[in-house]
Structure 1
């Protein structure tokens, strides 16, 4: 049990006592009661809004209730001071031993510190990347891939049962273009001079191996055949090849999906028909005519009766067609059916989309709300694009890819950990620059370096202490830690709360922000030794103090490792 959960339990016990003696009525909803650090550190170590939240439903005055809660909390030995502030906030000051105890808790919990069971029994489907299977991963896909994977890690760390899913858009026109592009490379592999790649086809060299493989298997059988004879076969082969390429690229980032769901398979399984039937039975799909386009109406526009989903009933701006006039499914109709399929085996859905899909969020949220009758939580995280720079200048495109910079090229240059950490140093919906020079810079302005350096510094400290003859794994007397040391311990103790907040908000970047602050606090404490030798972590003439400070440093290193693991980043042992 961490310090914050322990004091939440103390508060609950106090509220139980007030309920038992009649001060509070039975059955009050305590879900919005919090125990957290006060906004102003000068007010103490912890604060609770319990009196503010419970006074009105209890029919009492907030300050009076706060005084009653204070009287109960004064029985807790770890609390040295309690103050009622403003209209009824309760501020607590804890004993130093309470914080020393949390350092020991971190050491005891190890890799499980910050882990919780808050999501136990909850199945979450996280769908991310889902790029069209038409080529290798590029840096436009990278940020969403990292955010999605880190979010999946974060949810698992909080006890959720997570499915990592990739939706393969293999039923649209773009895969026919891929098949035609592969056919061109197939003819090239047979010795034909294909000249320049025609506009509208994929130009990248990555399709050359696909063309060669088809030529080796089928010879010239399809070289002069009409498209109808080879399109389906080449589409199947090319999509399968591109998916293998995508999986290899994602593996460079340490990303592995549990499930690759096919759009074509969703349609073959008649999921769109099933969704339409279900919605019609509830009068949520009707046959109607779309409004004419706003502004000047095109000459060729004519009203057409289409099956429309009552999206406006669930907060959307207009009702949406699920089929085209040809009877084919619209993109929305197919996507709606796919989410219907996902919801059959998940309690919560999370989609990671590029910011260019912002206009479709409301309609899919409406569809999920309708198809699950509001039971399934559905979040969409929009990811802004990343601008690639080298020393402030835009990066040139990749010849291999044809018109973009590949993810593989970037990872091979700067490393998986640098890419993953950097992608989480901004909120997902904020613009980002990825400068090759800056992400490997050895300075405090580079969060990747600064956090990794803190961990490496602590690991080096252990080695140096052992070389100095200090038994680093001997019991440590934490009473030797002073005020500055305990300030660092208080920040380390924030990790479980940071995880909890990141889970609730679905924001893995909060872990990166927290780790940077923790690393900065550690470096600041370390640097105090530059001005005052007595403040150094390693004192060769005082093994007891060294062991106490080393115990604290190792607790900080443990928190850094745990946070980096959630981000999918390896904690380094030493800086190269």
Structure 2
């Protein structure tokens, strides 16, 4: 049930009746008509912009349309008042029974309350993390992993057919550096002094890899030239790193559906085929680029390269796909990889990149547009940096990693649930501070604790009502006399529950899972406020001694809040707390 959609349908139906009555011209486009909470709650329960958006195409004044629309809506038993405001906005007040009906829907649908058919089964690929397989995941990967996983869950909840995908960047020079670094640890395992020279990976995490190489090869690789062992050691070390990455992701309860390898694109003709497709479209040519910004002609040696005409699809400059020496650029296999996703039948693509990949957005978007003839949209989400603090000081790097704080460090300090929730308390393109002391403190300023405390309070009143002989299963609560919920504070709580399906759809459309975290904080705040008011107004307490009917109605309200908190936390990948310790 989505009450906002239901009332919008009522508005659209009233507009259609106005067309039939000649009060509006026929054939007006109503896609821009919205029904949403008013900016000021004192103005009503919902507001519609119908008169404002239809005035110009209808050739009428907004207030004229609004007044006629108000008269028709006011005749519906669901609407208790329809008031025209300002130049033509229409504020609506709903009968209390509508809000009470939302609570019954929440109790009846349970974990499915708020699920949407918005996606209509659209196949969507969410590619995230995609870290180089050269070491453990760092805190930046942590935020990207949480964001991507929560976004995938949100889209699934909104009716999309979602695939979580990890693109293994194992085709570039960095995996050769990994192999040389692992080889030094192999030498160390054989009793030799490792030469961790500049440019190699210094982290202790490669010590077990070196020991495993010794177990497999003994000392047989020690006297061989690099050309003999590089490929074997590279593949061995890359596989071990991916095992570590999978374990790190599992700490956050992130599990991928698909792992795709960049290396698998080479030597298969897939890169050549993708570039040929672009060439057939007239988008590949041989040319010379202008000097990069900051480079003078004297500092720039122009070379003819094979270029993709990405400017034809919105990019700032054309991009090289093959170097002058005939080697592919990094961009070429990425083009082939995205073409593979298109070829697998995805209707939409989402890439989650780190903040340092901002310059890659336009070229990749252009490539997908060209490869799909504009049919498959690509949305690139950039994840800004995370700053870590502890005891008022920046949190130091991990010795095990060598030069950065790992995902495992963060989860071991804060826990998976706290880490996941807090990583979603800011929009993805805003920097985020992660203070270990603050994310674990028990206060209203800590959104993780505040939401979990609300859920624990709900469980406590359910237990108390059960002990008092009130049936607290959802079916029984849905049958309670919800008309007894007549206090403005209780109806306001029900209104917040009614916003959940709308919030899901807005967040899914915008690809913004942080909206779910914000909503959970708001509804938790409403619950705590109502709870605290019960300390002074006994009639607002959830358990009414000696009045099982009133208790059942109030427990139904609390349980409905619990339904949406649990659903929202599930999208964020957080386990609801049954009690606080």
Cα deviation digits, residues 352-393 of structure 1 (max 9, x gap): 111111122111122222222221121111111111111221
Shift of 1:276: 1.7
1:477 equivalent in alignment to 2:476? no
Cα deviation digits, residues 170-224 of structure 1 (max 9, x gap): 1111000001111111122222232x62221111121122222221122222111
Q: In structure 1, what is the equivalent of residue 433 of structure 2? A: 433
Shift of 1:452: 0.3
Contact 1:2 1:105 in 2 (8 A): no
1:527 equivalent in alignment to 2:532? yes
Q: In structure 2, what is the equivalent of residue 16 of structure 1? A: 16
Describe how 1:155-554 pairs up with structure 2 within 5 A: 155-194=155-194, 197-295=196-294, 297=296, 301-344=300-343, 345-473=345-473, 474=476, 475-481=479-485, 482-554=487-559
1:282 to 1:470, Cα distance in 2 relative to 1, 3 A: closer
Shift of 1:294: 4.4
- Of 419-428 and 354-363, deviating more is 354-363
Shift of 1:300: 7.0
Cα deviation digits, residues 273-316 of structure 1 (max 9, x gap): 22221222222111111123445547674321111111222222
- Of 299-308 and 349-358, deviating more is 299-308
Shift of 1:512: 0.4
Secondary structure at the aligned position of 1:493 is classed as helix
Task: Give the distance between the partners of 1:364 and 1:372, measured in 2 at CA.
Answer: 12
How much is the aligned-residue C-alpha RMSD, in angstroms? 1.7
Secondary structure at the aligned position of 1:132 is classed as coil
Contact 2:2 2:502 in 1 (8 A): no
1:335 to 1:454, Cα distance in 2 relative to 1, 3 A: same
Name the TM-score, length of structure 1 as normaliser: 0.96
Shift of 1:322: 1.0
Contact 1:455 1:573 in 2 (8 A): yes
Shift of 1:17: 2.2
- Of 242-251 and 72-81, deviating more is 72-81
Q: In structure 1, what is the equivalent of residue 153 of structure 2? A: 153
Contact 2:71 2:82 in 1 (8 A): no
Task: Give the distance between the partners of 1:559 and 1:184, measured in 2 at CA.
Answer: 53
Task: Give the distance between the partners of 1:295 and 1:422, measured in 2 at CA.
Answer: 39
Cα deviation digits, residues 427-457 of structure 1 (max 9, x gap): 1111111111111111110000000000011
Task: Give the distance between the partners of 1:292 and 1:104, measured in 2 at CA.
Answer: 65
Contact 2:114 2:500 in 1 (8 A): yes
In structure 2, which of residues 573, 577, 581 is the aligned counterpart of residue 572 of structure 1?
577
Cα deviation digits, residues 67-115 of structure 1 (max 9, x gap): 3322332331111111122332221111111111111111111111111
Q: In structure 1, what is the equivalent of residue 42 of structure 2? A: 42
Shift of 1:145: 0.6
Task: Give the distance between the partners of 1:369 and 1:94, measured in 2 at CA.
Answer: 45
Describe how 1:29-108 pairs up with structure 2 within 5 A: 29-108=29-108
1:301 to 1:471, Cα distance in 2 relative to 1, 3 A: closer
The count of corresponding residues between Structure 1 and Structure 2 is 575
Task: Give the distance between the partners of 2:65 and 2:291, measured in 1 at CA.
Answer: 61
Task: Give the distance between the partners of 2:384 and 2:525, measured in 1 at CA.
Answer: 28
Shift of 1:549: 1.0
Task: Give the distance between the partners of 1:259 and 1:313, measured in 2 at CA.
Answer: 32
Contact 2:51 2:88 in 1 (8 A): yes
Task: Give the distance between the partners of 1:269 and 1:31, measured in 2 at CA.
Answer: 47
Contact 1:289 1:303 in 2 (8 A): yes
In structure 2, which of residues 544, 552, 560 is the aligned counterpart of residue 555 of structure 1?
560
Secondary structure at the aligned position of 2:507 is classed as helix
Name the TM-score, length of structure 2 as normaliser: 0.95
Q: Which runs of 5+ in 2 are unaligned?
A: none
Cα deviation digits, residues 461-516 of structure 1 (max 9, x gap): 11122223334344422122111111111111111111111111111000001100
- Of 303-312 and 58-67, deviating more is 58-67
Contact 2:306 2:324 in 1 (8 A): no
